[in-house]
Amino acid sequence: MEQTIRVERVDAIQRVTIDRVQKKNALNLAMYEALTAAFVEAERDDSLRVVYWSGAGGCFTAGNDLADFANPDADLSAVLTFLDTLARFSKPIVVAVDGLAIGIGTTALLHADLVYASDRARFKLPFVELGLVPEAGSSLILPAAMGHAKAARWLLLGELFGAADAEAHGVVGQVLPADALEATAWKAAQALAAKPPEALVKSKALMRRWPAETVKTVMRSEAEIFEACLKGPEARAAFAAFFSRGRRG
């Protein structure tokens, strides 16, 4: 089977790489299961102190693979389990974002700790144009972080935005030239891994902006509406248009 989520242990760091370059690292349901397994392993193993997450081939992820979501009866439990695992993850998460970060590629960053992006990174939250609604707690986190009006441009209009805008509004922490991204982000992961692990975990817990139950409640509401929309006529029409464009090349 194709290994689309690569996981390797480097000292105290769990290195997780999305590697489905031919599909711009789009995530299918099996990949969500693999991501969950990688994060669960890192959570349970006391010798692993940091997760370092990136994408291969100059792309973080183009978001969900719509081929898996086009079926209105698709079981999305793998997605929901991953999002819950990510939101509850107690150890530091360092992310290196290059190229596209679409949908989940952006919302997942809201649950990371140190996010580095290349100056060629591009972000987009196309939920509404796909007949869907935001996920991963983004309907709470983004308006609270930047105000309703700015968040509406991203969540309702679905505007494409660049790394500088993402940095200005706290989605990423630092923008770097593409050739410096990997080295800088990896150095940060190593620095975190060298620090007292209990202090790191407790400090991250103190820094969480909302109680875990609040985020969990919002994510549950988002998921219920998302699943209902997925079966609705707007999403069906949007998906059909997407696949039609693909067939036309």
Tens of pLDDT, residue by residue over 51-108, are 999 999 999 999 999 888 887 777 889 999 999 999 999 999 999 999 999 999 999 9
> Quick one: pLDDT at residue 249?
44
* Integer Rg of the chain from CA: 17
Average of pLDDT values for 131-137?
96
> Quick one: pLDDT at residue 68?
86
> Quick one: pLDDT at residue 72?
72
Q: Which amino acid is at 211?
A: P
pTM above 0.85, yes or no: yes
Confidence label for 179 from pLDDT (cuts 50, 70 and 90):
very high
Q: Take residue 105 and report the two structure tokens written for it.
A: 């590629």
What gap in Å lies between CA 103 and CA 132, rounded to an integer?
Answer: 11
Spans of all domains in the chain: 5-178+196-248
> Quick one: pLDDT at residue 208?
85
> Do residues 24 and 59 touch, judged by C-beta distance below 8 A?
yes
Strands 13-18 and 5-10: antiparallel
Length of the chain: 249
Confidence label for 213 from pLDDT (cuts 50, 70 and 90):
confident
Instruction: Tell me how far CA of residue 9 lies from CA of 38, 52, 160, 203, in angstroms.
Output: 10, 10, 34, 24
Q: What top-level class would CATH report for the domain 5-178+196-248?
A: alpha beta
What gap in Å lies between CA 8 and CA 52, rounded to an integer?
Answer: 10
Which residues, at least 6 apart from 113, have a Cβ–Cβ distance to it below 8 Å? 92, 93, 94, 204
The burial class, CB within 10 Å (0-12 / 13-18 / 19+), for 189 is buried
What gap in Å lies between CA 111 and CA 233, rounded to an integer?
Answer: 31
Question: Which of the residue ranges 30-34, 86-90, 95-99, 208-212 would you say has the lowest mean pLDDT?
Answer: 208-212
